[in-house]
Amino acid sequence: MAVAASTVNGFSLTPVSKADENYHRPTDLKAFDDTKAGVKGLVDAGITEIPRIFYSPPENLNSDDVSSETQIHIPVIDLDHIDKSTVDRVREASEKLGFFQLINHGIPVDVLEEMKDAVRRFNEQETESKKQYYTRDLTMPLIYNSNFDLYSAATTNWRDTFGYISAPNLHNPASLPEICRDILVDYTKRVMEIGKLLFELLSEALGLNPNYLNNIGCSDGLAFVYHYYPACPQPKSTIGISEHSDTDFITVLLQDHVGGLQIRHQNKWIDVCPVAGALVVNIGDLMQLITNDRFKSVNHRVVSKHEGPRISVAGIFSTLVLPSNKLYGPIKELLSEENPAIYRETTVRDFSIQFRSDGLGTSTLKHYKLNQAEV
């Protein structure tokens, strides 16, 4: 017998407790998408139980698998005074954890605060005003939706996101929503500057000319995703962002004070604790590919919490699916007889299309391994 679905705001989504063999996930996904109101819309409607599409069995979330080894924490690197030891720290973090935090990076605290506030304003404006931006059409200047991989992912994430491609410039900034336009443009410029500096430090850390990574185009593309993770009534049964690695060269992330970001290290989850005023940097798959596995693109996730909303802004150094014919493979200068290339060459577009078709949580890199038998 089919069970009655709960009705929220005129649409029906099956709650976790009412699921039976007649449950038809695609119907609920479509109903949720059609609201164009995201997870925030569910919270606004006063739900007290997460709809079944968000449910992820607790054993899949292995939430108590968190490392108690307090000695492992993500290095905090001070950019106030850059010297050889800065390069050494960047190298060590990129080789071991794939993550580090930056302080004294030059972006004033009030700009960081305004950036997070703009994400909050966008998500907390009237649903009717926000709906016009809700789309899965990648050619739109601003893409707002919940779960970019809604129809392909195994579990739906407790998160709404909007994003745009800021470099190379495709759209006139005037097409961005007024509620957040100025800060989006300002913050973009500042993250681009930090990115260029980071690529210099990473080049030096690899023993290359400081301009190497910028010259081969690592900073040609910069896109942003602005995440809004509403407070969750059943945080242990769902996830904010599923375990994944980033497909870009590097990501520069601003997170607020709520926390929840974790990285997988030696099969344990380690918290990336919020540090006021800091930016989190992580190595992406394309960087792992061109460094022939020397720098690590490490899996990470965001757990849901009762507390919220949590806001984060990820600056993604990649041209993503934009037309590209530049080929990226392991950097020749880093290869030797003892260290032969383990990946084949790819364009950023090819790599990004592969990721889009696989969805979050799958390894894009494995498709590019030369010796598939090792996978």
User: What residues make contact with ligand OGA under the rule CB under 6 A?
Assistant: 225, 227, 241, 246, 253, 255, 261, 300, 302, 312, 314
Q: Which is nearer to ligand OGA, 312 or 364 (CB)?
A: 312
For 40, the token pair is: 């925030």
| Least distance in angstroms from the C-beta of 347 to Ni ion | 21
Q: Which is nearer to Ni ion, 232 or 250 (CB)?
A: 250
Q: Which is nearer to Ni ion, 50 or 281 (CB)?
A: 281
| Residue 217: burial class (beta carbons within 10 Å; 0-12, 13-18, 19+) | middle
| Least distance in angstroms from the C-beta of 11 to Ni ion | 30
| Least distance in angstroms from the C-beta of 300 to Ni ion | 6
| Least distance in angstroms from the C-beta of 158 to ligand OGA | 12
Q: Which is nearer to ligand OGA, 165 or 314 (CB)?
A: 314
Residue 227 binds which of Ni ion, ligand OGA, none (CB < 5-8 A, kind-dependent):
ligand OGA
For 203, the token pair is: 């080049």
Residue 302 binds which of Ni ion, ligand OGA, none (CB < 5-8 A, kind-dependent):
ligand OGA
Give φ, ψ of 287 to 5 degrees.
-70, -40
Q: Which is nearer to ligand OGA, 29 or 272 (CB)?
A: 272
Contact criterion met (CB below 8 Å) for 339 and 222: no
Q: Which is nearer to Ni ion, 199 or 355 (CB)?
A: 355
Contact criterion met (CB below 8 Å) for 263 and 300: yes
Nearest residue to Ni ion, using CB?
A: 246
| Least distance in angstroms from the C-beta of 246 to Ni ion | 4
| Residue 18: burial class (beta carbons within 10 Å; 0-12, 13-18, 19+) | middle
List beta partners, residue 254.
313
Q: Which is nearer to ligand OGA, 210 or 259 (CB)?
A: 259
Contact criterion met (CB below 8 Å) for 121 and 111: no
| Least distance in angstroms from the C-beta of 50 to ligand OGA | 19
Could you give the CA distance from residue 260 to residue 263 in angstroms, rounded to a whole number?
10
Residue 255 binds which of ligand OGA, Ni ion, none (CB < 5-8 A, kind-dependent):
ligand OGA
Residue with tokens 């059609």: 34
Cβ count near 264 (within 10 Å): 17
Q: List interacting residues with Ni ion (CB under 5 A).
A: 246
Could you give the CA distance from residue 71 to residue 221 in angstroms, rounded to a whole number?
36
| Least distance in angstroms from the C-beta of 302 to ligand OGA | 5
**Sequence-separated (6 or more) residues with CB below 8 Å from residue 338:** none
For 13, the token pair is: 């989504």
Residue 290 binds which of ligand OGA, Ni ion, none (CB < 5-8 A, kind-dependent):
none
| Least distance in angstroms from the C-beta of 253 to ligand OGA | 6
Residue 261 binds which of Ni ion, ligand OGA, none (CB < 5-8 A, kind-dependent):
ligand OGA
Residue 279 binds which of Ni ion, ligand OGA, none (CB < 5-8 A, kind-dependent):
none
Q: Which is nearer to Ni ion, 200 or 285 (CB)?
A: 285
Contact criterion met (CB below 8 Å) for 261 and 273: no
Distance, CA of 13 to chain centre: 27
Could you give the CA distance from residue 38 to residue 371 in angstroms, rounded to a whole number?
42
Length of the chain: 375
Contact criterion met (CB below 8 Å) for 294 and 254: no
Contact criterion met (CB below 8 Å) for 40 and 54: no
Q: Which is nearer to Ni ion, 200 or 243 (CB)?
A: 243
Among 342, 338, 335, CA closest to 368: 342
| Least distance in angstroms from the C-beta of 369 to ligand OGA | 22
